[in-house]
């Protein structure tokens, strides 16, 4: 028995080695970790820090390799891939939708309710995209701004009544603020802070809690066999309830939207994303989205419109607390826009104010450069081709080159490595310096929303919401670390307040900040 098992083991090892040797090409580096979905839950343990595949490696592996595009092979599967940290190469890959196709397996985490714009590619993706893009427009942008103002005014009340200063978990606050904004501007759901813990009639869990739980237990949902959910395990039962109730909430929204149709045939007449999505789908003369597909896309809207924005804003406020000189520059700008907090200009702020907040926009962009929602994405090469790169020569200077890419190669686009590359951002690439976005800056090397045909449809939504939140919080409050953090050197404050893990997106930890009122 043992000899048979041993023989099978040796045969398997020989097979793996032979396949690896046959597929390996000259110049390929051995990759220590696969770049697939399994890499996310293992990211804190493997690969070693600073190596290719490490989410926290910045530009280090590419600097060590002396090139911005590194061909690799993963021995266990003999899968060839290239790790890319080159802005021009990324632009080439992301703009060629047919030569480099999306790896839909990356987005299976968001496909629980069915096919959606993220989980599809090819003609199916075109069908989803053509309808989804009609959800966004200038009327929705105006609604995003006004609803963000309204939500913040409600959220400020307990802070204002707490005295001259208050300490708050800003991570949790922003998680709810961005949920309220996407619920209102996206789906005409007016969530109220005082009632957010109560489930709607006929439901077992409040909407916000169902969404939060579904997002935070996504890996548990994937890894756990369905039969285990029938066992009395509290964590599994809570996860199952969250997904069941969230799907019920979303399907009820679809039914209510159809029952409440106003006869508007042009989606541009509506303002909220959901109404525009349903109207666009009804007006579609080709293949419409099914109710299951509508529900799946709504789930994506909620996750993308709330999860990513809340995390970006958490990092931004933490960075402002760590860098009071940047915070005061932002305060000077917003004070010019809203000099009087008792004026109608403040209480009834409109979308026009967004054009006056250039430094707030720079803070937002710099935060996304340092902490993009996605550290990396991938594409599959459909044919043999070459892509640009930069190589360091014997004199230590970087010069342009080309790299061959074979059909079937997995192209790992390291967005964060490009954002942290001194080739584009200078020797202070790791520093928080919003001023770099106030003059000419390397636009091709800033890709938090990606680019090309798959560019994020919600980029304008997220930008407007975020600069409104940043500007109005800083106008009313001075942000500071808690006393035990404030006494630490700035580097240690940064390490403590901007620590993150990998989930559906880059996820900050709980951040406690002191908010001191700037007004009497």
Binding residues for heme: 456
Which run of H or E residues covers position 517? strand 512-517
| 426, 432 Cβ separation under 8 angstroms | no
Residue reference for tokens 């007006």: 283
The rounded distance, in Å, linking the Cα atoms of 92 and 447 is 13
Task: Give residue 206's region: left, alpha or beta (phi > 0; psi -120 to 50).
Answer: beta
User: How far is residue 514's CA from residue 497's CA, in Å, rounded to a whole number?
Assistant: 13
Residue 430, strand partner residues = none
Length of the chain: 520
Q: What are phi and psi of 453, to 5 degrees?
A: -60, -30
From the annotation, which residues make up the binding site?
Answer: 456
Asked whether 477 and 518 are in contact (CB, 8 A), the reply is yes
CA–CA dist 36, 53 (Å, integer): 10
Determine if residue 169 is left, alpha or beta; phi over 0 gives left, psi from -120 to 50 gives alpha, anything else beta. beta
Instruction: Give which of 494, 117, 497 is closest to 294, Cα–Cα.
Output: 117
Q: Which helix (H) or strand (E) holds 464?
A: helix 459-476
The torsion angles phi and psi of 494, rounded to 5 degrees, stand at -60, -50
Sheet strands (E) in 104-216: 165-169
The residues near 30 (Cβ < 8 Å, ≥ 6 apart) are 72, 73, 75
State the CB neighbour count (10 A cutoff) for residue 171: 21
Question: Residue 385: what are its φ and ψ, rounded to 5°?
Answer: -160, 180
The two tokens of residue 520 are 């009497």
Distance of CA 476 to the CA centre of its chain: 27
Q: What is the spatial distance between Cα 192 and Cα 180, in angstroms, rounded to a whole number?
A: 8
Where does residue 34 rank: exposed (0-12), middle (13-18), buried (19+ CB within 10 A)?
Answer: middle
């Amino acid at each position: 028995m043992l000899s048979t098992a041993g023989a099978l083991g040796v045969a398997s090892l020989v097979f793996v080695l032979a396949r690896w040797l046959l597929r390996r090409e000259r110049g390929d580096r051995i990759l220590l970790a696969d770049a697939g979905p399994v890499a996310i839950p293992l990211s804190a343990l493997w690969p070693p820090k600073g190596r290719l595949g490490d989410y926290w490696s910045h530009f280090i592996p590419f600097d060590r390799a002396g090139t911005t595009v590194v061909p690799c092979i993963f021995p266990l599967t003999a899968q060839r891939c290239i790790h890319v940290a080159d802005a021009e190469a990324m632009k080439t890959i992301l703009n060629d939708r047919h030569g480099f196709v999306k790896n839909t397996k990356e987005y299976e985490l968001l496909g629980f309710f069915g096919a959606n714009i993220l989980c599809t590619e090819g003609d199916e993706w075109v069908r989803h995209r053509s309808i989804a893009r009609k959800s966004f427009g200038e009327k929705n942008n105006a609604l995003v701004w006004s609803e963000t103002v309204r939500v913040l005014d409600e959220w400020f009340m307990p802070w204002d009544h707490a005295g001259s200063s208050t300490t708050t978990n800003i991570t949790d606050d922003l998680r709810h603020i961005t949920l309220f904004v996407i619920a209102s501007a996206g789906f005409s759901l007016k969530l109220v802070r005082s009632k957010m813990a109560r489930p709607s009639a006929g439901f077992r869990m409040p909407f916000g809690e169902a969404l939060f739980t579904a997002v935070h237990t996504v890996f548990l949902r994937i890894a756990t066999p369905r039969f285990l959910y029938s066992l009395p395990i509290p964590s599994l039962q809570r996860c199952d309830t969250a997904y069941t109730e969230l799907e019920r909430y979303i399907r009820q929204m679809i039914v209510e939207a159809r029952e409440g149709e106003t006869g508007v045939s042009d989606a541009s007449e509506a303002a909220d994303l959901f109404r525009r999505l349903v109207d666009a789908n009804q007006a579609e003369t080709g293949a419409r989205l099914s109710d299951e597909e509508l529900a799946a896309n709504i789930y994506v809207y909620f996750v993308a419109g709330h999860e990513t924005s809340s995390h970006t804003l958490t990092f931004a406020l933490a960075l402002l607390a760590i860098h009071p000189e940047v915070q005061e520059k932002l305060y000077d700008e917003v004070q010019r826009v809203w000099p009087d907090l008792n004026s109608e200009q403040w209480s009834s702020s409109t979308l026009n104010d967004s054009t006056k907040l250039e430094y707030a926009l720079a803070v937002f962009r710099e935060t996304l450069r340092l902490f993009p929602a996605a550290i990396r994405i991938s594409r599959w090469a459909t044919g043999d081709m070459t892509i640009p790169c930069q190589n360091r020569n014997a004199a230590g200077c970087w010069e342009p080159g080309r790299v061959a890419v074979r059909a079937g190669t997995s192209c790992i686009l390291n967005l964060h490595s490009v954002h942290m590359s001194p080739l584009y951002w200078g020797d202070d690439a790791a520093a928080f310096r919003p001023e770099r976005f106030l003059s000419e800056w390397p636009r091709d090397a800033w890709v938090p929303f990606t680019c090309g045909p798959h560019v994020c449809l919600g980029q304008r939504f997220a930008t407007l919401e975020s600069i409104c939140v940043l500007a109005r919080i800083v106008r009313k409050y001075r942000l500071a670390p808690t006393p035990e953090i404030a006494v630490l050197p700035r580097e240690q404050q940064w390490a403590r307040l901007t620590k993150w893990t990998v989930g559906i997106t880059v996820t900050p930890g709980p951040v406690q900040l002191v908010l001191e009122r700037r007004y009497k």
